[in-house]
Copies of this chain bind each other. A is one copy, B any other.
């Protein structure tokens, strides 16, 4: 059934040549494969005319046979130490849409589909150095300035990510579009969420799980007589992220408007990833200072005392932006050596100025029934001061926290059923 396509030879990594040779190219497929016996003897495969190499241990670690991968759970049944240390590819056979790999010394066999190998082929060279597959970094996002999300003509369609709660509930494709916006633009504004107590928890439950904290499952944002938090006053609050004193920080925040203020209390959103990219381009030294020095944040009331230390701009190990934290209200005294403090503060100020620029701030006025869902590791939120009149009940939002992983999972499962593909990137 399998036709022998390949024979043993030395891989290119070993200098090529001696003893090795190529199997015939299969006409019409643009695909050829052969085995390297030198060193750790890998599989070599031409995909779309380009040579791709697959280390033996990588292939074996991904073997899809029922001995290696549990058919029920799809989980691997082996640990990395179960793989023979001196593993090589002894033979590779063409089997139509598959390639059958036989390993030495133990004779184990793996059957890989050609399409799977093509999709997962290790890159050659170092061009993939920054592609780390991490969905949380700037690379998977659509960065924006306020104008990017504002209709250019008064009557034109806005690109502001928004949706209607009844449609969101009724139509899986609409739900997928709204959730995708949280991952790509960092937020979505849902309208027509009934302005009822506790509805914010229903919105969270529609895509994930509430992250309960010392503020409760939900918290009321309104003026309190003896506030433990400046959020519970009528003061202006500049762009910030929530709960930087928590670790892990809640990665999603929801704010649902039950009542507006008579005047003021408007919401502003800033794309922290877009701002971080701008800082990196404009002032690499400031960017480095903010990514390399942790800042401690704290919160304290009768029942809680929280403290966490993380840089204001968090990078992936590959140096890509994967989180921002910004909240001077709860920043604790910086503990840096004197010389670094003197360098840090100008960088911190520059970052704050950049975040405060009007062109970065998307202004919204939440009305009763509006619910914002946003990525708290990326989007800073702000509000203008508002007035308190004696005759009205006053501004009242309800908020809660949730996490991005649950939202992303819900979106992926929705796409399985709706068949909706992620919109092609420009």
Chain A residues in the interface with B (C-beta under 8 A): 13, 40, 52-53, 55, 57-58, 61-62, 70, 72-81, 83, 85, 120, 122-129, 131-136, 209-214, 226-230, 235, 238, 245-249, 251, 291-294, 296, 300-301, 303-311, 314-318, 328-331, 333-339, 341-342, 345, 348-349, 352-353, 356, 403-406, 408-409, 412-413, 416
CB distance from A239 to the nearest CB of B (A): 9
A sample of 12 cross-chain residue pairs with beta-carbon separation below 8 angstroms, ordered by A number, consists of A61-B345, A75-B229, A77-B329, A79-B356, A80-B352, A81-B352, A122-B341, A129-B337, A132-B293, A133-B294, A245-B405, A306-B409
Which listed residue, B72, B74, B316, B335, touches A128 by the CB 8 Å rule? B335
Q: What's the number of copies of this chain in the assembled complex?
A: 2
Question: In the bound complex, do residue B333 and residue A318 qualify as a contact, i.e. CB atoms below 8 Å apart?
Answer: no
Residues of B within 8 A of A238 (CB): 79
Q: Given the known inter-chain contacts A122-B335, A309-B132, A341-B122, please indicate yes or no for A79 contacting B328, CB distance below 8 A.
A: yes
Residues of B within 8 A of A303 (CB): 413
Closest B residue to A230 using CB positions:
B75
**Given A75-B329, A81-B356, 5 additional A-B pairs, CB 8 A:** A73-B227, A122-B336, A126-B337, A304-B413, A307-B408
Question: In the bound complex, do residue B309 and residue A135 qualify as a contact, i.e. CB atoms below 8 Å apart?
Answer: yes
Which listed residue, B228, B294, B404, touches A318 by the CB 8 Å rule? B294
Residues of B within 8 A of A408 (CB): 306-307
Question: In the bound complex, do residue B229 and residue A335 qualify as a contact, i.e. CB atoms below 8 Å apart?
Answer: no
Closest B residue to A60 using CB positions:
B345
Q: Please measure, in the bound complex, the distance between the C-alpha atom of A248 and the C-alpha atom of B226, giving whole angstroms.
A: 33
Question: In the bound complex, do residue B227 and residue A120 qualify as a contact, i.e. CB atoms below 8 Å apart?
Answer: no
Q: Please measure, in the bound complex, the distance between the C-alpha atom of A238 and the C-alpha atom of B55, giving whole angstroms.
A: 25
Closest B residue to A331 using CB positions:
B76
Question: In the bound complex, do residue A309 and residue B409 qualify as a contact, i.e. CB atoms below 8 Å apart?
Answer: no
Minimum-distance CB pairs A-B, first 5 = A248-B248, A134-B309, A209-B212, A305-B412, A75-B329
